[in-house]
Amino acid sequence: MAIEICMGSSCFARGAGGFPAVVREVLAGRDPALVAVVGCRCHDACAKGPSVRIDGRHHRVVDGDALRALLLAHLPADDAGSAP
């Protein structure tokens, strides 16, 4: 799974700066080989931000709770705690 967090000024000003911490929290204990996380500049979706792409698909993520729910919906349920 590829997660791209927009760190452009518009998304950052609306809370995306806190998203990496949420991602780290959600991914804790999961196999790091299964997920790639990157911060990006503007996704050209400022009016629909804060923007997070998962496997190339845009999602408007209004806050950390919404991001947590989005990630959990995309992660395989049986992956939790599978990392050594």
Burial class (CB in 10 A: 0-12, 13-18, 19+), 2: exposed
Q: How far is CA 27 from CA 44, 45, 57, 73, 84, in A?
A: 27, 25, 19, 13, 13
> In this chain, which residue has its C-beta nearest to ligand FES?
8
Q: Which residue is listed with tokens 């959600």? A: 26
Q: CB of 64: closest distance to ligand FES in angstroms?
A: 16
Q: Which residue, 43 or 59, has its beta carbon nearer to ligand FES?
A: 43
Q: Which residue, 50 or 71, has its beta carbon nearer to ligand FES?
A: 50
Q: Which residue is listed with tokens 């923007």? A: 51
Question: What residues line the site for ligand FES (CB under 6 A)?
Answer: 6, 8-11, 42-43, 45-46, 49, 51
Q: Which residue, 12 or 80, has its beta carbon nearer to ligand FES?
A: 12
Q: CB of 13: closest distance to ligand FES in angstroms?
A: 8
